[in-house]
Amino acid sequence: MEPASIRVAEVMRTEFASLRVGDRLDLVDQVMALGRVRHLPVLDAAGRVIGIVSNRDLLEASLTSVLAFEPEQRRTFLHSVAVDEVMTRHVETIGPDAPLGAAAIRLVGHKIGCLPVVDHDGVMVGMLTETDLLAAAYAPPGSPPRPSG
């Protein structure tokens, strides 16, 4: 089957970490490091996507290279910053029935690394990353599992 004709639901990850507006960047830092993820969606109480935080957002917010924080100072600083202060508010999403080709066009066109997958009510049901697309297109069936997004 051609990768472009595969549906997003066949490739997306249904297990994903997410954030809430009140969460702090020290939590983001820990989740990204422990889970080896580069993107964390920010969800409202109903599970709808209201933002996204990328590892780039975290790095820009922490200013670690400029301020040369010691590890404890960095954690304290990150704890002082709320997710909603750094999250991207306009988030590109995609539906589970969309073809992977449409997802690829959206990722490349917007120069982003992931697409939260939402149902018809806007509730997040999965995550699709550029790594997922590459695996769907080029990894042979039965390949080792992909790392988290």
DSSP state of 148: P
Q: Mind listing the domains of the chain with CATH numbers? A: 3-138 (3.10.580.10)
Q: In tens digits, what is the pLDDT along the chain, a chain of 149 residues?
A: 566 679 999 999 999 999 999 999 889 988 998 988 999 999 999 999 999 999 888 877 766 545 666 767 777 777 777 888 889 999 999 999 999 999 999 999 999 999 999 999 999 999 999 999 988 888 766 665 555 55
Which pTM was predicted?
A: 0.83
Distance CA 9, CA 72 (A): 41
Pair type for strands 114-118 and 124-129: antiparallel
CA dihedral defined by 137, 143, 146, 147, rounded to 10 degrees? Answer: -140
Pair type for strands 49-54 and 39-43: antiparallel
